[in-house]
Chain A
Amino acid sequence: MSYDSFVIQFLNGLAGASSLFMVAAGLSLIFGVTRIINFAHGSLYMLGMYIAVACAGKIGFWWAVPVAALAVAAVGALVEMLLLRRIYAAPELLQLLATFALVLVAKDYALWQWGSEDILGPRAPGLAGAVAIGKAAFPEYDLFLIGFGPLMLLALWLVLTRTRWGTLVRAATQDREMAAALGVNQKWLFTGVFALGAFLAGLGGALQIPREPATLLIDLSVVSDAFVVVVVGGLGSIGGAFVAALLIAQIKSFCIGLGFSQVTLVAEFIVMALVLVLRPWGLLGRVPAQARGPWTAERPLVPPSRPALAALGAVAATLLALPLVSGGYTLVLLTEILLFALFAVSLHFIMGPAGLHSFGHAAYFGLGAYAAGIFLLREKLPMELALALAPLVAGLGALVFGWFCVRLSGIYLAMLTLAFAQIAWSVVFQWDALTGGSNGIVGVWPAPWLASKTAYYLLTLVVCAAAIAFLWRALYSPFGYALRAARDSPLRADAIGMDTRRLQWAGFALAGLFAGIAGALYAFSKGSISPETMAVTRSVDGLVMVLLGGIQTLTGPLWGAALFTWLQDTVARNVDYWRAVIGAVILFLVLAFPQGVTGFVGERLRARDA
């Protein structure tokens, strides 16, 4: 690499860092005060882009930028007042779910308003030219961005340390209740912070339009980038967000500049891994205060009652006998419900009893699915063997990712699992030769003896029932108890000689393995696999299922999976803007049943018994 191109790549990285910093700083700020990880932060960025592009034609680029940022800030304030205010007291997972529902709604809104095509933005008037750096040219606008990032850092720092509002924000970041007891009206403080965070996201998006087109896909990619930045920089540290944004943007820039755009993600992964091993709470982060525990105190685990076992047996028998009276579409839908039930139960296994809130469980589902397809078609293994081996690949993936994940806890862990899943997704998306890239793999069909819908349904039923039974049984074993012990009190667990990390690592890998079984079954049931199989949305589907069912119940994930899969199937077939509908349904459920549906019903039943 010549000196000139080195300088150019370096400057490119600096320019890219500015927008990234603004998004991450907003995310960090909002989290600090409201303790909510705003999944929809990338959507706010996306809205900023679209609004700026739409306005630029009428009022010019330089007016469009502040207008877009302010409009997004207003949207943020509205969201805070209408939605978040109602769920501040809810468990943090439900809050995340609610903000994810916003992602769905925002995406469909943008689709409806601006269509599915990417829209190119204008160049920045006055800065449309380029300056010569050695023999190469560098856009003037990018130079402006390089200066703008540090300026925003300075402005934020001044606001936070030199104004009464900033002092109150920092106080509330540490202890909201105490601030309230001192007369601080947190309602408006929260709205203000959320609006400021949204403003930063909108501004970041709007400023980006001369450099890249507005696209519907930007939301999740920006938010997962921001998660990586925040995890590397340290949650709640604005300075950390700045340093990490520089670091990540430089890595991207150099990988692309050197012609290794495929290794970008791997490089990002390695940097993140290094930082997390050396400084688990990020470069400038601090050990977070203990997150709120799981819901209220969980009741001790009691062995299932005879009637409950009988009921489960009856359900299994009914399912087994079903092909006698039903066929075709019902069996296809039930196959899907069964394997998603296994997926949800495996996710519940680490989320509930182990307390590890994974937001990237689809990675292991997808690894299982892809491994099955690759073993079958590329390695020419028999289908049965491919199905048996594929989950091991998923388990191996969970073993690698899990090693890092279990070093963190709470929201950090959630973000890291999501970032890993996003990386796995991108690798699959980009590795054409092996995975077929965005087209995926087709022709993943089961062996002839399993080819009929009925035979495959029965195979799925038997495998899933056995797998679910194993996971449930494991919760009653010393290992299951040990996981709960490590969740209830890591301090005490450590003090009685338990290696909590190793236990959680094993639990994580086990859950990944079982998600892989579901994924492999899924691949053969569909006959094809695409990157969608392991997208972030699938991870969230799993979360919705678990939370719908109620995280404190054992059978909850089953009913959650059945309800959600059925709902998604019905809605997707009949409605154009199905994402928005699903989003609205999630929002409704979160607001109406903050303990999950089965949790809610159980609570009612107990109340009646008492």
Chain B
Amino acid sequence: MLEARGLVAGYGRAQILFDVALEIRAGEVVALLGRNGAGKSTTLKALMGLLPLRAGEVRFGAERIDRLPAYRIARLGLGYVPEDRRIFTDLTVIENLEVGRQPPRAGAPAWTPARLYELFPNLARMQTRLGGRMSGGEQQMLTIARTLMGNPAALLLDEPSEGLAPVIVEQMARTIRDLKREGLAILLSEQNVHFADAVADRAYLIEQGHIRGAGALAEVRERYQSL
């Protein structure tokens, strides 16, 4: 479904990614494990077209997306949820969802605000609340809901458990399993091994911009923890 080969990217003169390759198949949840600064967020941004690639190739379904601007990639059905949530704080919950709205597409679950409120009951109670007046956990739910409004076929989730209280993290894990049941393919970056354990089918390990391991979660986790 999503396949990247030979990704090279960076900021300014600094190179962050070196020849990163990974693949996500339909309906899978894949974790990208790595410590802070290893290149997890950069990988997701590069896949999403938010950071220009210096080299490499990305395929999404039948399309080459490595030279496309971010909005085109989003419209092809790749959803992106940033690590710092980036809620539009001046917009209400319902307006935040409106920004994400795209026409439904074949082969991907179709979302409406009503369906999303079922998935995130908290949001239903605060539809007209400004994004800036929500707690961190509520914002995390909204940022995922907002991306789902684009009816994506695959989702890039950047550190969904970061900065959340343990009870909310458990709720987040349930949500990800729900989305997987809906048929979404998910790539999530994590440094929290317990969380990855709870949701992912398999994993990649990234270290200093290189993919250092791939496979079943247990093996990758062992390598990660021995770093």
Contact = CB atoms under 8 A, between A and B. Distances in A.
Interface stretch (A62-70, A137-145, A181-189): A181-189
A181 B82 contact: yes
Interface string A357-394: 00000000000000000000000000000000000000
Contact of A296 (B12, B99, B100, B146): B12
B88 interface: yes
Interface in B68-88: 69-71, 74-75, 80, 82, 86, 88
B98 A181 contact: no
Interface stretch (B33-41, B89-97, B117-125, B194-202): B89-97
A182 B98 contact: no
Nearest to A173: B90
Overall SS of chain A's interface: helix
Contacts of B80: 181-182
A180 B50 contact: yes
B147 interface: yes
Nearest to A186: B71
20 contacts: A168-B99, A170-B95, A171-B88, A171-B91, A171-B95, A171-B96, A174-B90, A175-B88, A177-B70, A178-B82, A180-B50, A181-B70, A181-B74, A181-B80, A182-B74, A182-B146, A182-B147, A183-B71, A183-B100, A183-B150
Interface centre among B98, B100, B147, by most chain A C-beta atoms within 10 angstroms, is: B100
A522 B52 CA distance: 48
B88 A181 contact: no
A369 to B, nearest CB: 41
A167 B50 contact: no
Interface in A112-140: none
Given A174-B91, A181-B80, 4 more contacts: A170-B91, A181-B50, A181-B71, A185-B71
Nearest to A168: B99
A287 to B, nearest CB: 12
B144 interface: no
A573 interface: no
B102 interface: yes
Contact of B86 (A170, A178, A183, A185): A178
A171 B71 CA distance: 14
B71 A180 contact: yes
B149 to A, nearest CB: 8
Contact of B90 (A164, A170, A180, A185): A170
A177 B99 contact: no
Nearest to A603: B13
A174 B13 CA distance: 28
A183 B74 contact: yes
A186 B91 CA distance: 18
Contact of B95 (A167, A178, A185): A167
Interface centre among B69, B70, B95, by most chain A C-beta atoms within 10 angstroms, is: B70
A404 to B, nearest CB: 28
A182 B150 CA distance: 7
Interface of B: 12-13, 48, 50, 69-71, 74-75, 80, 82, 86, 88-91, 95-96, 98-100, 102, 146-147, 149-150
Given A170-B90, A174-B88, A183 B98 contact: no
Interface residues of A, number: 20
B13 to A, nearest CB: 8
A286 B96 CA distance: 20
A213 B75 CA distance: 50
A569 B75 CA distance: 53
A174 B89 CA distance: 8
A563 interface: no
A85 to B, nearest CB: 12
Nearest to B92: A167
A503 interface: no
A189 to B, nearest CB: 10
Nearest to A161: B95
A179 interface: yes
Contacts of A178: 82, 86, 88
Given A174-B88, A181-B82, A182-B146, A167 B99 contact: yes
A84 B102 CA distance: 28
Contact of A183 (B12, B50, B88, B102): B102
B89 to A, nearest CB: 7
Contacts of A186: 71
B48 A181 contact: yes
Interface in A180-203: 180-186
Complex A-B, nearest 4 residue pairs according to Cβ-Cβ distance, in ascending order? A183-B74, A180-B70, A171-B99, A178-B86
A550 to B, nearest CB: 16
Contacts of B70: 177, 180-181
A164 to B, nearest CB: 7
Nearest to B95: A167
A229 to B, nearest CB: 21
A297 B91 CA distance: 32
Contacts of A297: 12
A231 B82 CA distance: 33
Given A170-B91, A174-B88, A182 B99 contact: yes
Contacts of B50: 177, 180-181
A184 B91 contact: no
B74 A170 contact: no
